[in-house]
Structure 1
Amino acid sequence: MAGSDTVLARAGAPAGQRGAAFRPDIEGLRAIAVGLVLVYHAGVDQIPGGFVGVDIFFVLSGFLITGLLVRELERTGRVSLPRFYARRAKRLLPATAVVLVVTALLTWWFIPVTQWRAFGGDIVSAALYVVNWRLADRSVDYLAEGTGASPVQHFWSLAVEEQYYIVWPLLLLLVGLVVRRTRAKVRPTMAVALALIVLPSLAWSVHLTSTQPAVAFFVTTTRLWELGIGAAVAIGATQWSRLPALASAVLGWAGLGAIVASAFVLSATTPWPGSAALLPTLGTAAVVVAGFRGGGPARLLAWRPMVWVGGMSYSLYLWHWPLVVAATFAAGGELGAKRGLLVTAAAFVPAWLSLKLVENPVRFSTWVGARARHALVVGVACTVVGVLAGVAILLAVPKAPPAPPDLQPEDPTSRVGAEVLVADGPQAGAPQDTSRFITPAPVDAVDDVPEAYDQECQVESDGAEPKPCSWGDPDGTLDVAVVGDSKALQWTSAFDEVGRTEGWRVTTWTKSACAFADVVQTQDGAPYDTCTQWNDAVLAELRAAPPDVLVTSQRSTSAMPPEGGDSSSDAMVEGLERRWQEVTDLGTRVVVLLDNPAPPDDVYECVAENLESLTTCAFDRSEGIEDSAAPEQTAAAQAMGDTVGVADMTRWVCPTDVCAPVIGDVLVYRQGSHITDTYVRSTATMLRDELVAAIGAAGTEES
C-alpha cells in the first residue's frame, strides 16, 4: 500500500522509469489485497474475511521499505532520515490531501450534521496519521455507539504504517552505529533489532485481542509484528534465491492458498488480529519469498491486469471507503452487496485520475526530487491542507438557538423540559414545529449524559466485574439500588436529586446492554457471557448487603430460552421473574422503572436537520411503547403480583398520543431511545412521585 515507490515494485511509474528489479508479482499481491478489501467493504458475505487484505498490505509494506533501507545501510553504513521521509511525503501525501478534501465535501453533502464534529476531528487525525488511536478510543466508548462509520476510518492502517516508519528507521540508525563500531554484518544485526519489535508486538497482540479486541484491532502496538514479518523477508533476501525451485514453488502456492483460505475461513467474529493473523501474513511472506525464484504463483500474479490494479492499489484504497460511507448515508441505510460493488467499482475512476494527475506528477517531479527538503515542504503543505479540510467541517457545525442566559426560576416563562407539563398540562408537550431555543443543541445531544459516565459507572460489554457508584444522601435512611443497563443509568441525575431531598442512599449497578435478569442474553447473535457473569456478581453483592429497595430498568427485550434456540420475548419475561423473585426473597422490595417509548430513528439527528419543522421528528406513542422493553417489564411485573411495584414515566416523556422531540425547549432524546440528561433533570420531582407510589405498592414503607 504505502511502499510502492521503491524500485522493487514501481507500477505507478512511467514504463521507462521502472527499475530492473521490478517485481510484478508484488503488484499482483497488491491487487489481491485491495480486491479483498473492496469486496469486503462492499458487503459481499461470501468473502467474510476480506479484511485480511490490510494485513497483506502490512507485510508488503514492511518488505518493500525495509529492502530499501537495508540496501542503503549496506551501501553507506547509515540511514538518511531526510531522504527516507522525503520519499514517503512525495509518495503518500499529495493523494491523501486530495482525498481528505473530497471527503470533507462528501461529509458536508451527505452526512447528517450531528456527525460532523466527530468526522471533522477524524479528518484532522487522518491528516496527521494518528486516526487509529482516535478510533481505538471510540471503539470502547459506549457513548460513541451512535456515531456512524467514519469516512476516513480506513486511514487507520495508513496511520499504523507511518507510525512504524518512525520507529523502524530510528532503530536502524542504531544498527548502523553498531555495524560501524563492531564491524558486524548488517543483515544479522538488523534481524536482532527486528526481533525486538516483532516478538513483543505479537505477544501483545495475542493478549490484547483476547482482552480488548476492539482496541487491539486499531492500535499500532498490535500490528507492528505484521510489518515486521515483511521486514524479515527483506532482511533474508540474499538467501531466498538459493532455495530449490521445487521448494520455492510449493512454498509460493501454499502461501497463496493460505491467503485465499483466510478470505473464506475467517470472519468478523474471529478475534483479530491476534494469532489468527499469522495465516494471511505468513502466507503473504511465503509468496514473496517464492517470488525471488520467479516460480510458483509468480507468473499468475504477474498477469498484466493484476499488475495494473496493483499499481493503483494505494489510490483505490484511499478513494473507495469515503464513497461507500457517503453512499450509505445517502441511501439511508445499508447498501447491500450489489450497490456496494457498484460503489467500490466506481472508485476506479477517481483512483485512476488521482494517480495520473496528482500522485505521479508530484512523485516524479524533477523539482520535488531534486532535494529532500523540497519533498518535505510539499508533504507539510499537503498535511496542512488535510488538517484544514477537517477544521472546515468542524467550523461548519450548525448551532441551534441557544438558551437565554437570564432565565429566572420564578419566571413562568423560564420553565423548561417536563416542568411545563406540571404547570400547563399534557398538551404543553404536544409536538410543535418550532421552539424558542433547544437545549442541548442537537449536535451536542450525544454528550448530554449523566455524570455517571465520567465516573465510569457503566461496565462495558467486555467487562463482568460490577462497579457500584454512590448517589443521593450518603447519610440517608433508605438504601436504594438501581440495577440494569444504560436505560437505568440514564436516570442517575434525577435519582441523585431525589436521594438528596428524600434521604435515600442510592447505589447504581449498570452494564452496557445487559438487563438484570436470570436468563442468557445475546450480543451480536451470540451468548452475552459477560452479562451473565455480571448478573451473578451483582446478585451476590445484593445478597451480601440487601438494599431496602431495588429499582431496575432496561432496553433489552429478548433472551435465549433455557432449552436453547432463538431469542424470544417470553424468555426475557421469565428471566425477569426469576431474578426479581431472588431479590424479593432477600426482603428487598422491587420496583421496575418502565422503559420509555422508543423512537424509530435518532431524534437528535432529525431535529438537527429540521429546526423549523420539528413535528417531522415526532412519532406515535403506542408504537414507541411497543418497540421499548415496557411490554416485557409489564408482563413480568403482573406475573409477580403485589411484590413488585411499577414506576411509569411515560406521561412525563411523551404526554400525548404523538411523542414530541422537544418539550419545554429541551431536546428529549439523544442516542437511540436514551433521554438527554437535561430532560432527565427536569423530571426529578415526577420521578420521586412515581417511585414513592411504586415503593408503596410493593409493600415497603416510605422513609
Structure 2
Amino acid sequence: MTSSELATTDVPAGASGASGTTTTGPAREKSPGSAEGATRGPARPVTTGDRAHGTFRRDIEGLRGVAVLLVVLYHAGVPLFGGGYVGVDVFYVISGFVVTSVLLREYATDGTISILGFYARRARRLLPAAVLVLITTLLAAWWWLPLQLQWIATQAIASAAYCVNFLLARNSVDYLDTMRRESPLEHYWSLAVEEQFYLCWPLLLLALLGWPRLLRRRRARSTSARSQPARTGPAWLQPARSWWRPGDLRPVLVVVAGVAVLSFALCVWLTATSPGYAYFGSPARAWQLLAGVLIALGAGAVSRLPARLAAGMAWTGLAAVLAAALLFDSTTPFPGYPALLPVAGAALVIAAGCAPHSGGAGGLLALRPLQWIGRLSYSWYLWHWPFLVIGAALLGGHGTIWQNLGLVGGALVAAAGTYLLVEAPLRRRRRAARPWRTVGLAAVASAAVVAVAVPALATKPTLVGPGRPVDTAATLAASADVERDLTRLVAASADAGPVPANLTPPLPEVTTDIPAVFHDGCVVLRITDTGTDHPCGYGDPAAAQTVVLFGDSHAGSWFPAVRRLADERGWRLVVMVKGFCSAASVRFHLDSVNRPYDECVQWREQALRRIGELRPAMVVTSSTNYTFGDPVGVFTDRDQVWTDGWARTVDEIRSTGSEVVLIGDVPWLPPTVVDCLALHLTDARACHGPVSDVVLEPRRRQMIADVARDRGALVVDPTPWFCTSTVCPALVGNVVTLRDGNHISATYSRLLWRVLDERIGLLGA
C-alpha cells in the first residue's frame, strides 16, 4: 500500500489577492465586485488568468480532479497507472498554496492571523467527512472484517488524532507487520501529514510575518521619541496599500526555501535508508507542501509572467504530472528524487494560473467533468479505499479490475452524498459558527470515533463454522501412507462446503499462528540487518549430525516441520533465515526499499560461509519463487537469472559435502484468505484459489527444480500437500494452511513433518 490522501482547501471569496486562490463546492461566497461567472462558469472562453479578487481558480479545481483520478485508478489496479500514487503529491502542493494564500490575505487585511479561526475553518472543512468515513468503516469492519477489527480500531484512533502516519511508519520497519493485511483506513496517513502541517505552519508564518514589526517596535523604544517618531509597522501591512511586496516577504521566502531544501534532503536520505518513514513521515513530506507555500509567497511576481510563458508552463506542468503517473510504478524509489517530477508539475500548473493567459492547460482542467470530480475529490478519496478493501474481502480477494472499478464507482456515489448532505451544508453555515464552538465540536467528533473504536479493541470475535468436525492431526498420525492420506484430505477439503466446527487453531488466531522461530531471535527480520550470529541452534548441541534450515521467510515457515523431524531423528538444527532474502545467489532490487537489496547479498554470503564451517549433513533450503523485485543488471530472461542463482547456491553448499534439499514454493492465496473464511463459514469454497492463479511462476519453478536435480539436490514439490490438480483449498481438514496467503501456518507446518520425513529422512540417516 500502499497509499494516498488529500485534503482540499476552502478559501473565502476575496481572499485570492494577486494569486487567485480557490474554493471548492457550489456554494461559494462572492465578494463585492466578483462576477457571478467566477463561481458558476462564464459564457466567455475559460482562461487561467482570471485573477480578480474573489475569482475561483478552476484550474486548481480541475487539478484536484486529475490528482484524485490518478490515485483511484492506481488503487483499482487499472493498467498504465502504476504511478498514480503521485496524486497525493499534487494535493500537497495545492494545499500549501491555497492555505498560505488565505493566511497572507488575512494578515494583510487584519494585521494578524487568527490561529483559532484557522483551526476552526480546517475542522469545518475536513473533520465532518473524515469522521463519517471513520465511524462507518469501523462499523462495517465490525460486520465484515471481524478478524481485523482490533487493528482497524487502532488505526481509527490514530486517525482521529492525526498521527496514523507515524503508526504506519513504525510498523513498516517490522517484517511481521509489513505482512499484515491492508486496512481500510491506511489512506488516512496523508491526511495526518496535512493536519500536522496545518498545526505548525500558521504559527510559523505569523512569527515570520510579525518579526519585522516586533523589531521595529524594539528599535522605536530604544530611540528617543523626539528624534525618532514611532512607526506602526512596515508599509505593506497597511490595509489601504498593496498587501504583498517581494522585498517585504523576502526573509519569509528564504526561511521557507531553506526548510524545504532540508526536508527534501531528508526525504532522499530516508528513501534509501528507511522507506517507510520517507513515505509516511511528515518531515520527509514537508517540502511538497512548502513548494505550494513558495508559490503563494511569490504569487505577485509570478502574476507578471508573459502570457505565452504562462501557457507553456501550465501544459508542461500537467504533462509532468501525467508522465509521473504513467512512468512510475512500485519499483520507483519513491518519494526521493522522483517525487520532484509530480511536485514540479503541480507547481508549474498553479504558478501559471497566477498570470493572465489563454491557450494553457486551464481550459482542459476547467472541463465540467474534472470540475465535478475536483469538487468531490476529498470525499471520494476518503470513501474509495474502504470500498476497495472491504469489497475485496467480500469478493474473496479475487476482485477483477472491472469489479474494482465498480467499487470505486460506488465510492463516488457515497462521496456525492457526503458532499451534498455533510460538506456543503456545513460550509454554508461557516459564518454563523464561532471558532471556539467549532473547535469544541471537532473535539467531540474525534471523541466519538474513539468511543466507537475502544470497544472494538476489546472485542474478540468468536467465529465457528457449521461444518462436520474433522481431525487432520489424528488422521495423519494414524496413517500408514501419510502422503496418500494427506492428498485425499486435500481433495476432500477442496469439495467440502462449510468450515469445520473444530477449526484448529480457531479462526481469530490463525493470523498469529506463526512459527516460534520468528519470535525467538533466530530470524533476521529487519531489512537492514546483515548478521547471521543469532542464537539459532535447536536440539542437542552434541548431536552426531547437524541440519541447517536456510532461506527466506518461506523457509522459516517450514521450521515446525523440520524441527519435529530433527527431534525425531536426533539431529541438531541450525536456522539461518532472513526475511525477503532468497537463498538463490542473485543480487536483486527490493521494491519495498526501492533499491538493490545488498543486505541480502551480504547476509547470504555470511550464511554460506557459516554453512561451510559447520559442514552439516544436510541443508534444507526454500525461498519464494515470487520475488519482490527484479534482478540487478542487464538480462533478457528473469527466470534464467534466478535459475542460475539457485545453481550457484546449490553448487556452493554441495562443495562442502552437505546434502541439499530444495523445497519448492507454496501456493499464494490472497492475503485476505482468512477474512474470506470468516465471511464464508457456510461455504469455504469461495476462498479457494485455482491452481493456475495461485501456483506462481510455473516456468521458473520447473527450471529451478531441473537445475537443482542436475547438481545433486533433492527437490521436494509441496504443491500436492496444498492443492489438487485444479484448486488450492484455503484449509485442509480442520487446519488453515496459509495464515496470510503465502506463509504456512505453524499448525499445518507441524503436521507436515511425516510427509517431509518420507521424502528426506533417509538423507540424514
Q: TM-score, normalised by structure 2?
A: 0.74
Secondary structure of the 1:56 match is helix
Q: Distance in 2 between matches of 1:342 and 1:668?
A: 31
- Map 1:258-657 onto structure 2 (within 5 A): 258-295=320-357, 297=360, 299-300=362-363, 301-303=365-367, 306-333=370-397, 336-365=400-429, 369-388=432-451, 390=453, 398-400=461-463, 418=473, 421-423=476-478, 430=489, 437-454=502-519, 457-459=522-524, 463=528, 465-469=530-534, 470-473=536-539, 475-477=541-543, 478-492=545-559, 506-518=573-585, 530=598, 534-543=603-612, 546-547=615-616, 549-556=618-625, 564-568=635-639, 575-587=645-657, 589-592=658-661, 594-595=663-664, 598=667, 604-605=674-675, 607-611=677-681, 635=706, 638-641=709-712, 644=713
Q: Distance in 2 between matches of 1:259 and 1:401?
A: 50
Q: CA deviation at 1:487?
A: 2.3
1:91 aligns to 2:125 (yes or no): yes
Q: What amino acid is the match of 2:23?
A: R
Q: Distance in 2 between matches of 1:417 and 1:222?
A: 51
Q: Distance in 1 between matches of 2:478 and 2:726?
A: 19
Distance 1:479 1:65, change over 3 A: same
- Map 1:55-66 onto structure 2 (within 5 A): 55-66=89-100
The equivalent position to 2:270 in structure 1, one of 200, 203, 208, is 208
Encode CA deviations 1:51-93: one digit per residue, 9 max, x unaligned: 3222111011011112223344455565433222111111111
2:383 touches 2:415 (CA, 8 Å); kept in 1? yes
Q: CA RMSD in A?
A: 4.6
1:124 touches 1:388 (CA, 8 Å); kept in 2? no
Secondary structure of the 2:577 match is strand
Q: Distance in 2 between matches of 1:242 and 1:650?
A: 68
In structure 1, the partner of 2:38 is: none
Q: CA deviation at 1:445?
A: 1.8
The equivalent position to 2:27 in structure 1, one of 14, 19, 26, is 14
Q: Distance in 1 between matches of 2:101 and 2:336?
A: 26
Q: What amino acid is the match of 1:203?
A: A
Q: Distance in 2 between matches of 1:357 and 1:485?
A: 51
1:131 touches 1:159 (CA, 8 Å); kept in 2? yes
Distance 1:3 1:527, change over 3 A: closer
The equivalent position to 2:763 in structure 1, one of 676, 694, 697, is 694
Encode CA deviations 1:413-471: one digit per residue, 9 max, x unaligned: xx997466335765699458665643433233222213433456545696583534323
Q: Distance in 2 between matches of 1:334 and 1:58?
A: 33
Q: Distance in 1 between matches of 2:607 and 2:549?
A: 11
Encode CA deviations 1:28-71: one digit per residue, 9 max, x unaligned: 32233223333333433244433322211101101111222334
Q: Distance in 2 between matches of 1:614 and 1:249?
A: 58
Q: What amino acid is the match of 1:542?
A: I
Q: What amino acid is the match of 1:159?
A: A
The equivalent position to 1:4 in structure 2, one of 4, 9, 24, is 9
1:486 touches 1:512 (CA, 8 Å); kept in 2? yes
1:513 touches 1:556 (CA, 8 Å); kept in 2? no
1:11 touches 1:307 (CA, 8 Å); kept in 2? no
Q: CA deviation at 1:138?
A: 4.7
Q: CA deviation at 1:613?
A: 6.3
Distance 1:678 1:81, change over 3 A: farther
- Map 1:36-55 onto structure 2 (within 5 A): 36-55=70-89
1:188 aligns to 2:250 (yes or no): yes
1:130 touches 1:159 (CA, 8 Å); kept in 2? yes
Encode CA deviations 1:634-684: one digit per residue, 9 max, x unaligned: 65564345xx56789999999999998667965443122432224445677
Q: What amino acid is the match of 2:654?
A: T
Q: CA deviation at 1:348?
A: 3.9
Secondary structure of the 2:63 match is helix
> 38-47 or 152-161, which moves further after superposition?
38-47
Identity of aligned pairs, percent? 33
Q: CA deviation at 1:547?
A: 4.3
Q: Distance in 1 between matches of 2:507 and 2:280?
A: 29
Secondary structure of the 1:30 match is helix
Q: Distance in 1 between matches of 2:444 and 2:758?
A: 62
Q: Distance in 2 between matches of 1:693 and 1:334?
A: 41
Q: What amino acid is the match of 2:550?
A: V
Q: Distance in 1 between matches of 2:105 and 2:342?
A: 27
1:468 touches 1:507 (CA, 8 Å); kept in 2? no
In structure 2, the partner of 1:407 is: none
Q: CA deviation at 1:229?
A: 0.7
Q: What amino acid is the match of 2:261?
A: L
- Map 1:97-108 onto structure 2 (within 5 A): 97-107=131-141
Secondary structure of the 2:84 match is coil
Q: Distance in 2 between matches of 1:557 and 1:343?
A: 28
Q: Distance in 2 between matches of 1:622 and 1:348?
A: 34
- Map 1:200-279 onto structure 2 (within 5 A): 200-279=262-341
> 607-616 or 537-546, which moves further after superposition?
607-616
> 198-207 or 513-522, which moves further after superposition?
513-522
Q: Distance in 2 between matches of 1:309 and 1:647?
A: 54
Q: CA deviation at 1:148?
A: 4.5
Q: CA deviation at 1:489?
A: 0.9
Count residues with an aligned counterpart.
678
Q: Distance in 2 between matches of 1:353 and 1:284?
A: 29
Distance 1:646 1:253, change over 3 A: closer
> 119-128 or 456-465, which moves further after superposition?
456-465
Encode CA deviations 1:585-630: one digit per residue, 9 max, x unaligned: 223x224163586475666445434556678878999999999999
Distance 1:632 1:515, change over 3 A: farther
Distance 1:58 1:416, change over 3 A: same
Encode CA deviations 1:537-580: one digit per residue, 9 max, x unaligned: 43344345644542222332899899943344x87666544422
2:333 touches 2:595 (CA, 8 Å); kept in 1? no
Q: Distance in 2 between matches of 1:353 and 1:613?
A: 35
> 280-289 or 449-458, which moves further after superposition?
449-458
In structure 2, the partner of 1:68 is: 102
Q: CA deviation at 1:230?
A: 0.6
Secondary structure of the 1:316 match is helix
Distance 1:420 1:622, change over 3 A: farther
> 116-125 or 279-288, which moves further after superposition?
116-125
Distance 1:472 1:295, change over 3 A: same
Secondary structure of the 1:370 match is coil
Q: CA deviation at 1:386?
A: 3.5
1:169 aligns to 2:232 (yes or no): no
The answer for unaligned runs of 5 or more in structure 2 is 1-5, 13-20, 35-52, 217-232, 235-247
Q: Distance in 1 between matches of 2:723 and 2:309?
A: 73
1:473 touches 1:506 (CA, 8 Å); kept in 2? yes
